[in-house]
Amino acid sequence: MRLYLINPTNPLVSSVKVRESRWNRYRVWKPLSLLVLAGLTPSEWEITILDENLGVPDYPELPRPDLVGITAFTSQANRAYEAARYFRSLGVPVVMGGIHATMCVDEVMERVDSVVTGEAEGVWPRVLEDTRRGSLQRRYDGGLAEIKDVPQARHDLLATGYAFGAIQTTRGCPLNCTFCSVTTFNGARYRQRPIPDVVREFQSIPEKRVLIVDDNLIGTRPEHIARAKELFRAMAQANLRKEWIAQATINFADDEELLALSAKAGCSGVFIGFESPTLEGLRELGKKFNLLKGRDFGASVRRIQQHNILVVGSFIVGLDVDKPDIGIRIAEVASQYGVDSLNLLFLTPLPGTRLWDQMKADGRIALDTFPEDWKYYTLTYPVARYKHLSLDAVVKEMISCNRDFYSMPRVLRRLCSNVCHRRAPLISFVSNLSYRRNSLLDRKAYADFKCQRGNRYDCTSGM
Ligand code: B12
Ligand code: SF4
């Protein structure tokens, strides 16, 4: 039995534009969901993973499969439907799963033969067995998996073409920020994989550099942090010889032992959501964790960097509290905090989030011709009506923030500082150049976007 697992591309995502910016070669990430599905697949299936981010295959040239499985974030949904249409026209059954299929079941049901909602561990073997018997069901619900059932991902199947491998060590997040779908999808209970499983899987990853995809690697409670320390000790002891990057909340900086152990285990960078430079902004987003009284973000960033760990700071523009000049303010605050790279995103209502429900109720979702408009839900296009910022204004804030933070003098200043402190200067420099180049590409993309979609914002600004 032949199985194709497809990761659809979205050409509007700047980090997959490898031809336009060679720095993006370092930012095409492995579709871990498909490696996990492959790990759940019995050996009688011959599996091919087709990651369209490395180039869309010439499907008619490929042998006919017995089943096609497609994953998709919301921003990939359109391309997922195109691929599904093609294979269904050949009479090949198509099953779709992942976050978009879970949040928009009805839309997806209309376009594929079968939908898997939730995490796949509990149901994927049954999907395959039903396919083999010719009795594929219309819908399977995996719900939340038992964390011990998460298999070893098949890292051997996509062994070339990427700068980073990928692994997951925990699922779920208790924080439930308004704009984020993780708590709805993976649950509020923080589930941690058994440490020996994680170490064994790490050892099977061919790349030297690895992205740990966890939404919050260390968790929030003392028992989570204790487990993170245990994991880091085990990783150091296993002498993995890997450098890895991960996502964490700012409490990562609060525990010296945790920082030292993570560095020893190979941590070279963390991605931290600061989200807003103002308290009102943090309150609006429900980012309770960053509201800790008396927290000095600059000092927190420095404590992390002292362990030779780079910090990428993520911020969001377009909050109800954001007024003109928020872009420059974010660039200044990010520089004050001393982050090594800045990732600025538009506030985007993603289906299944509290923000979606609120904006929908308020009639503020500007791009709502679905599924066509999903391609703009990359967080790099303004898809909503913002309270104090028109379409032009919010785009201007994005551009001015990136122009300021990634101006050449600032990039070089950060490079010098990282060289002086021997803090992964090369990685940081490449990351800065990649963000800089992508922000230039995005500027061009906004002009095209405005021509094609600008009329949809008629009632923006000063709502
Ligand atoms: C790693 C990651 C990335 C990587 C992507 C790597 C890749 N190609 O997969 C990068 C950094 C590139 C990325 C980019 C983006 N991401 Co992202 N990302 C994640 C993250 C943190 C982990 C994903 C992951 O690997 N999980 C581990 C695997 C094992 O879990 P999984 O994907 O859920 O798969 C399981 C099930 O969903 C299911 N399943 C999945 N696919 C399929 C397919 C079939 C056939 C079946 C049966 C089952 C199935 O089975 C799997 C095992 O249980 C998630 C958060 C999260 N917790 O999922 C956000 C997340 C998926 N990202 C999100 C977003 C918004 C984006 C961006 C749009 C914006 C951004 N800049 O962050 C871009 C879009 C890129 C694009 N190409 O369009 C949102 C998506 C929400 C949505 N409705 O789409 C999430 C949920 C985060 C959030 N805050 O809400 N992301
Ligand atoms: S943004 Fe981060 S902290 Fe907030 S709910 Fe999502 S994963 Fe958790």
pLDDT exceeds cutoff 60 at 21? no
For ligand 1, is residue 10 a contact (CB within 6 Å)? yes
pLDDT tier, 456 (very low <50, low <70, confident <90, very high otherwise):
confident
**What atom in ligand 1 is closest to the CA of residue 102?**
37
Rounded to the nearest integer, the mean pLDDT of the chain is 93
- Per residue in 56-90, pLDDT (tens digit) is 999 999 999 999 999 999 999 999 999 999 999 99
Q: What is the pTM of this model?
A: 0.96
- Per residue in 222-277, pLDDT (tens digit) is 999 999 999 999 999 999 999 999 999 999 999 999 999 999 999 999 999 999 99
Top pLDDT among 186 and 14 is at: 186
Ligand 2: centre distance to CA 274 (Å): 11
Give the residues surrounding ligand 2 with Cβ less than 6 Å away. Answer: 173, 175-177, 180, 182-183, 215-216, 249, 273
pLDDT tier, 463 (very low <50, low <70, confident <90, very high otherwise):
very low
Ligand 1: centre distance to CA 199 (Å): 22
For ligand 1, is residue 181 a contact (CB within 6 Å)? yes
- Per residue in 360-369, pLDDT (tens digit) is 999 999 999 9
Q: Provide the percentage of residues in the chain whose pLDDT is more than 70.
A: 96
pLDDT exceeds cutoff 50 at 452? yes
Burial of 239 from C-beta contacts in 10 A (0-12 / 13-18 / 19+): exposed
pLDDT tier, 23 (very low <50, low <70, confident <90, very high otherwise):
low
- Per residue in 102-156, pLDDT (tens digit) is 999 999 999 999 999 999 999 999 999 999 999 999 999 999 999 999 999 999 9
pLDDT exceeds cutoff 80 at 292? no
Quick one: pLDDT at residue 65? Answer: 98
Ligand 1: centre distance to CA 457 (Å): 28
- Which residue minimizes the CA distance to atom 10 of ligand 1? 29
